[in-house]
């Protein structure tokens, strides 16, 4: 499959501009509408990979509003600098390609150096990666998917623990997916990586509790992010199909257990805050699924066990050109 990357970038920018902006306004209203609300991360330091857009940016906003200093580690400097202007002096940006261990190490070290402490590491960066039937998967694309979606998290945990062990405290949060617990919720490489993250969380929780370090995962369903725009565009023939924020929201609503409520970045940022802060202080090794009950009800995609069998026909039904 040939992907039109310029088109994917345009789609991602559209999603980012409209949906992330909406989530930011929601976050602001949510925080400011409760006078005297207790700030949960005052004096703490956090680093967020993939923090310049989508879920990462929403979480950066949430953490700073709760008093944390945040290092935004991302490969998108223009978006990172734009977010810095919004968040002010509580935020820092460092360019970080999560495929490179030295970049992740640099970002985490930078966070520690802010206050000589490291309280929260949110490993959030991810890609959809290789798509298509298993017998057509290109192994080089599969390897690239694993490098970003799984290997990078292992590296982030490794370097986070190096700082957290001596201080005898810390919280690690990893962005997973409903694909971590159900087949048919994403492409094969992505699903393997997200399931691997769950194994990482379980394994590390067993080791790190003795050091007072907690590690948990958030597994959301499809939400309007640049990653979602890429996913649907990549599934379209030649990557040329037009996909809008409204399309993604319509797809989610039609496939939701809670049809009157759309999943937003704010929902996921709230989950991250809960797990990162003392509110989740006795929780470790947990996979917090944020899907409105879909996986609990064992709902799979209609017409087969591959996610595209439902999502792409919905796009086509909405007047778009299908596969």
Cα(131)–Cα(188) distance, rounded to whole angstroms?
7
For residue 194, indicate whether it is catalytic.
Answer: yes
Cα dist. 157→120, 253, 285 in Å? 11, 34, 13
Cα(311)–Cα(134) distance, rounded to whole angstroms?
18
Cα dist. 262→19, 28, 103, 225, 303 in Å? 12, 18, 35, 13, 23
DSSP state, residue 16: I
Starting at the earlier edge strand, list the strands of the sheet with 120-123.
91-95, 69-74, 45-49, 120-123, 170-175, 213-220, 287-290
For residue 6, indicate whether it is catalytic.
Answer: no
Cα(123)–Cα(156) distance, rounded to whole angstroms?
7
Residues 12, 123, 171, 177: which is the catalytic one? 177
CB environment 92-129: b (16+ within 10 A), e (fewer):
bbbebebeeeebbbbbbbbbbebeebbbbbbbbbbbbb
Among residues 243, 316, 273, the alpha carbon closest in space to that of 19 is found at: 243
Residues 190, 219, 256, 311: which is the catalytic one? 190
Residues 142, 180, 194, 224: which is the catalytic one? 194
For residue 33, indicate whether it is catalytic.
Answer: no
Mind telling me the catalytic residues? 177, 190, 194
């Amino acid at each position: 499959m040939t992907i039109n990357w310029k088109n994917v970038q345009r789609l991602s920018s559209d999603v980012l501009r409209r949906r992330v902006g909406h989530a930011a306004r929601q976050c602001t209203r949510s925080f400011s509408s409760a006078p005297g609300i207790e700030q949960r991360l005052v004096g703490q330091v956090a680093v967020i990979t993939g923090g310049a857009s989508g879920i990462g940016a929403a979480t950066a906003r949430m953490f700073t509003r709760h008093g944390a200093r945040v290092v935004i580690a991302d490969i998108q400097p223009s978006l990172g600098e734009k977010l810095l202007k919004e968040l002010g002096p509580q935020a820092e940006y460092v360019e970080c390609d999560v495929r490179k261990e030295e970049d992740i190490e640099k970002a985490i070290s930078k966070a520690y150096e802010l206050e000589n402490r490291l309280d929260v590491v949110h490993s959030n960066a991810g890609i959809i990666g290789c798509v298509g039937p298993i017998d057509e998967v290109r192994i080089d694309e599969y390897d690239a998917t694993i490098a970003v979606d799984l290997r990078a998290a292992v590296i982030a945990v490794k370097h986070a623990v190096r700082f957290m062990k001596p201080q005898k405290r810390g919280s690690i949060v990893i962005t997973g997916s409903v694909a971590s617990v159900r087949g048919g919720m994403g492409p094969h490489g992505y699903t393997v990586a997200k399931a691997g993250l769950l194994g990482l969380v379980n394994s590390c929780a067993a080791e790190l509790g003795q050091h007072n370090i907690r590690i948990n995962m958030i597994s959301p369903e499809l939400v309007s992010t640049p990653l979602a725009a890429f996913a649907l565009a990549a599934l379209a023939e030649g990557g040329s199909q037009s996909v809008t924020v409204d399309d993604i929201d319509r797809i989610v609503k039609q496939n939701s257990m809670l049809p009157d409520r759309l999943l937003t970045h704010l929902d996921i940022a709230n989950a991250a805050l809960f797990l990162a802060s003392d509110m989740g202080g006795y929780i470790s090794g947990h996979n917090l699924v944020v899907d409105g009950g879909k996986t609990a009800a064992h709902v799979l995609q209609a017409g087969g066990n591959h996610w595209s069998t439902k999502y792409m026909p919905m796009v086509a039904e909405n007047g778009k050109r299908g596969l």
